[in-house]
Chains A and B, each alone.
Chain A
């Protein structure tokens, strides 16, 4: 198996795992948000913002995948001839955002559900409620950072 397969697998993993996590997170938060809106439609904007918070991991996954693909030349132009080692290195570099994205998005989704509960009962505490899911995101950001730096550092 040549290196390019591993590189593509890495890019796919970052999109797939982080995307699945975000889909779950935004999904559960959306269920909670719908419940709030049936009771009080005026809270729509607030709960929508909180619902979207777990969606960023999917975007981070896309980001890393895009950087990876353009790095190995799969986006337009010809694919680079990667050695097996380089390919596996790129795969490893993609792992942080994939795995951490998956887990953190799930937990951020659950935290977002709780935060939506806060907004339902005390809409004036929106600022604080928004903060709890944002705390979870920190780790996704750290993972994203590592993935970007690692992919960037590998010489193709």
Chain B
């Protein structure tokens, strides 16, 4: 359980080795580059921005090409494929790809071009379809829309922006121009939004007629063509069909490129890694022939790194301790068990340089409380098996994911244990099934007791567990004070509180109130009672006098002391908060039995059995999901608010070494430190 000590590791080397050294450091991934401390007049930094951006663009191009490929030739993935993690590939395969990178770049560009072609064709189809749509009302017209008439007659084609009948049109025209010599009006199509009409008259009357029509809201169509509408539609449809064909052909070409997919992924990663290298290259100071690189390295590997570097290259290595007041990046070192809660710890905040890494204490309480809240052997077993199988099946999943799964696996084990203690196996499924289908009154006795029969008892235990948790937290605070040799703080902020609280608890235990609540009569000997009073009173007076010791003013000091004493209400609410252990534990069991009861309602027989199994599966999956979520959230809360509140601040910065951060693959390295 520890925060790893860091050392400052500085290299001064010849420029000719620059590329090799940077690549070596990147593949080792144990140095966090921080060159802010290096100063010097002759040193200059290289401007690598444009190179870096070029690499980033190339990497992004490959990513986009992969997206296009995925769109037309999806990869076969299972639901759990996100757990698979990055594939591990051989170095020589990777090298082969790097040698082939020009071809891959061209391939990526081709895929992009094909994708663009399809997009353009699709846009064109959209355009043509709109045209067909505007043409639809005119389909009954057997002359082109632009048709203006014969030698003697004029044809006026257009639309009125509302629904009108032939009669209304004739009436309107008659009202304006009186009787025309010869006139014929046809309605071509009609809907509520517009009426399309074609009017025929003698050429000399054309203007008069059109003016009369305009009073109805008549207008000429915007679309004009020399083709008869039906013919025009056929032509447009032919164009669309041709475009469709083209798209299909292009899709085929893209599919043919799917063979390059794996290599394109490597290609994208290759440029991503190069961009990262150039980013670091831009930060390191260089003189004419040499360059300097400096940063943090975990102390335990610094020696090895030095040997390795000196063996391979001509360079000078400097290892120094980091000054006491300088913040170091935080890297935690924990075993498999306690390391599994690092994710939970990290989302609260990593410890700072001089804080303690609480993982090892946390894992115990985390697993303990989680199990108590879920407390069903069946659910625990399902959880444990699911996590174990996933961990086994996907050994290359990301580190954070495998940590969380491992944590849930342990939590599942603890849930099994609590379930057996409380007698919960998918609620009361076994008893119900025995009763309904075999008419047999089966009783499964809990190893300890059933919480629903005696909730007071579990409530008291929950608070005892809670108080233990809180005391451990306060104890860690004391340990930290002792480690830093702050003995006065240790006495005032930790010992006095322990005395005060233990005294209070010992006064409470034999009281009438506690006896009526817990049905337990605890009788202490008079000596113990006196001890309790002495502890409580001594602690109280001590706190009153000492808590405000930073203040010189005696009145203020007493006031601060009194304020600190008021924190006892905080302790009370913290302890009460552990009642959620009981509440959530009961919730799991009761809802599970509701599900079982519902399943048993169809009676026995084959139909009843089918209903029971269906309800059992669906109901318990639902209950498990909702209660695992609840247990997870509230276990976190108990850690973050109650436990960490006693001693832990966090706020450390995570160790971010210079390494190859890839998206798709990891390359096998021959030797790691």
Q: Which A residues form the contact surface with B (CB < 8 A)? A: 49, 52-53, 55-56, 59-60, 62-63, 66-67, 75-76, 124-128, 130-131, 134-135, 137-138, 141-142, 144-145, 148-149, 152
The A-B contact count (CB < 8 A) is 72
| Interfacial chain A residues near B452, Cβ < 8 Å | 67
Q: B590's contact among A55, A56, A66, A127, by CB below 8 Å, is which? A: A66
Q: A142's contact among B576, B586, B636, by CB below 8 Å, is which? A: B576
Whether B577 pairs with A134 at a CB distance below 8 angstroms is no
Q: Is B633 an interface residue (CB 8 A)?
A: yes
Q: Which B residues form the contact surface with A (CB < 8 A)? A: 344, 346-348, 452, 455-456, 459, 576-577, 579-580, 582-584, 586-587, 590-591, 593-594, 597, 626, 629-630, 633-634, 636-637, 640-641
CB distance from A139 to the nearest CB of B (A): 11
| Interfacial chain B residues near A63, Cβ < 8 Å | 586-587, 590-591
| Interfacial chain A residues near B459, Cβ < 8 Å | 145, 149
Q: A149's contact among B456, B584, B594, B637, by CB below 8 Å, is which? A: B456
Whether A145 pairs with B582 at a CB distance below 8 angstroms is yes
Whether A127 pairs with B344 at a CB distance below 8 angstroms is yes
Which residue on B lies nearest to A125, using beta carbons?
Answer: B347
Whether B583 pairs with A144 at a CB distance below 8 angstroms is yes
Whether A126 pairs with B347 at a CB distance below 8 angstroms is yes
CB distance from A86 to the nearest CB of B (A): 19
Whether A128 pairs with B347 at a CB distance below 8 angstroms is yes
Whether B640 pairs with A131 at a CB distance below 8 angstroms is yes
Which residue on A lies nearest to B587, using beta carbons?
Answer: A63
Interface of A is mostly: helix
| Interfacial chain B residues near A131, Cβ < 8 Å | 636-637, 640-641
Whether B455 pairs with A152 at a CB distance below 8 angstroms is yes
| Interfacial chain A residues near B346, Cβ < 8 Å | 127
Task: Tell me the complex Cα distance, A126–B582, Å.
Answer: 26
Q: Can you list 6 contacts pairing A with B, beta carbon distance less than 8 Å? A: A63-B591, A66-B590, A126-B347, A131-B637, A145-B579, A149-B455
Which residue on A lies nearest to B517, using beta carbons?
Answer: A149
A-B CB proximity, top 9 nearest: A127-B347, A134-B637, A141-B580, A141-B583, A63-B590, A144-B583, A145-B579, A134-B633, A63-B587
Q: A52's contact among B344, B348, B456, B626, by CB below 8 Å, is which? A: B626
CB distance from B330 to the nearest CB of A (A): 15
Q: A59's contact among B456, B587, B637, by CB below 8 Å, is which? A: B587
Task: Tell me the complex Cα distance, A137–B641, Å.
Answer: 13
| Interfacial chain B residues near A135, Cβ < 8 Å | 637, 641
Whether B587 pairs with A60 at a CB distance below 8 angstroms is yes
CB distance from A23 to the nearest CB of B (A): 15
| Interfacial chain B residues near A134, Cβ < 8 Å | 633-634, 636-637
New A-B contacts (6) at CB < 8 Å, excluding given A59-B591, A144-B583: A63-B587, A127-B344, A127-B346, A128-B347, A131-B640, A134-B633
Which residue on B lies nearest to A143, using beta carbons?
Answer: B583
Task: Tell me the complex Cα distance, A56–B637, Å.
Answer: 15
Task: Tell me the complex Cα distance, A137–B633, Å.
Answer: 11
| Interfacial chain B residues near A67, Cβ < 8 Å | 452, 590
CB distance from A63 to the nearest CB of B (A): 5
CB distance from A62 to the nearest CB of B (A): 7
Whether B640 pairs with A142 at a CB distance below 8 angstroms is no
Task: Tell me the complex Cα distance, A79–B629, Å.
Answer: 35
Whether A127 pairs with B583 at a CB distance below 8 angstroms is no
Asked whether A130 and B455 contact (CB < 8 A) given A52-B626, A145-B583, A148-B586, the answer is no
CB distance from A46 to the nearest CB of B (A): 11
